[in-house]
Structure 1
C-alpha cells in the first residue's frame, strides 16, 4: 500500500527479532519481493532508535489520554490509533515544520475536527433506527477517528459497541465515571487579562458553564421534534 501511494519502492526493512519478523513464512515473502531484512541484536533497541523512540512517545501519549478520562485499558488500541492520528498531523523539525501527513500525501490536514479523546458525546440516531418517541441521540464515549469513513469512532454506553458516526455533539470537559455509571462535568474558569488596563486593576474572570449532558440531550430531542413537526405539519 505504501509503495502504491508514495511511488517509492521499499528496499530494506529493519526490525527487532520478534517472531512475526523471523518466521519462515515472512522470510520467504521478503525473498520473493526482493526485500532486504535488517534485524537488531537481541536486547539492543538502540540499534533501531528512531522507531523505538517513536513507539515510546505513542505509548506515553496513549496512557496519558486514557488516564485523563479514567478509561479502562481495554481502550488501549483505540488510544494508540488516536495518538498516531494526532502525531501524524503535528509539524516536526525533521520535516522542516511539515507534518508527516502532509509530507506523505502532499496535502495539508485540518485540525478543527480534532476532539478530546475519551470525552462524552451524543450521537444522532437516524430516523430509520428509531420511532418518533425515542431519543434522537445516544450517549457515547469518543474513542477515535474513522479509518475508512469520514466520521468519529464512538463507544456506545448502552450496547458496549464501537461504531462510526458523523453527527456528533461533544462535551469535551466531561468524562464517564465507571463506578457510579454517571457523567462527571466540570465548570471551566478562564482568567483573562486586558492589557489596556492598569496593572493595579484585578484580572477579569469569566465563568463558562458547560451544558450538562441532559441539557445537550434535551436540545437534540427538541431539534428532532421541531423537524418532525415541520415535516408532518
Structure 2
C-alpha cells in the first residue's frame, strides 16, 4: 500500500494490520502531496462529486460532511467496468478480510 506520510495510515493499528496480512506499506515524504498523485486525484473526485451533489440538491454547505460520506458510500457500491462490473468492496473482500473500519454491508 502506498500512502502519504500525513498520519492517517501511519499508526500502530494500521501497522499491525499490514504486518499480519503481509502488506508492504510505503509512505511519501511528509508534506509532499504531489508525490501521491492517485490519492490526490481521488480526493479531488470526491470533492467535485460532493460539490455537485450539494449544488444539484440545492443543499446548504453546512451539510458538506454528510455529502462526502454519501459520495464515498455510493462510489464504493457502484460497479466499475475497470473491475469487471464489480464494486470496490467486492474486489477487496476477494483479497482477504477487511479491517473493521471498512467492513460495511455489501
Q: What's the TM-score, normalizing by structure 1?
A: 0.32
Residue 39 (structure 2) aligned to one of 43, 51, 59: 51
Asked if structure 2 preserves the Cα contact closer than 8 Å seen for 1:95 and 1:103, the reply is yes
The answer as to 2:72 corresponding to 1:64 is no
Which of 77, 87, 90 aligns to 1:89? It is 77
Deviation of 1:36 (Å): 4.7
Deviation sequence 1:56-81 (CA, Å, 0-9, x none): 11111101111122222221111111
Q: Between the two structures, name the one with larger relative contact order (CA 8 Å, sep ≥ 6).
A: 2
Structure showing greater Rg: 1
More strand by share: 1
List aligned pairs for 1:69-218, cutoff 5 A: 69-104=57-92
Instruction: State the Cα distance separating 1:31 from its structure 2 match.
Output: 9.2
Count of paired positions: 91
Is the 1:17–1:42 Cα contact (8 Å) retained in structure 2? yes
Q: TM-score, normalised by structure 2?
A: 0.61
Please state which structure has a larger fraction of its residues in helix.
2
Closer/same/farther in 2, CA of residues 65 and 90 from structure 1, 3 Å limit: same
Distance across 2 between alignment mates of 1:31 and 1:89: 24
How many Å separate the matches in 2 of 1:48 and 1:72? 31
Structure 2 unaligned residues grouped into runs of 5+:
95-103
Q: 1:96 to 1:44 in 2, by over 3 A?
A: farther
Deviations 1:101-143 (A, max 9, x none): 433457xxxxxxxxxxxxxxxxxxxxxxxxxxxxxxxxxxxxx
For residues 85 and 30 of structure 1, what CA distance do their matches in structure 2 show? 23
Describe the shift of the 1:66–1:37 C-alpha distance in structure 2 as closer, same or farther (beyond 3 A): same
SS in 2 for 1:41: coil
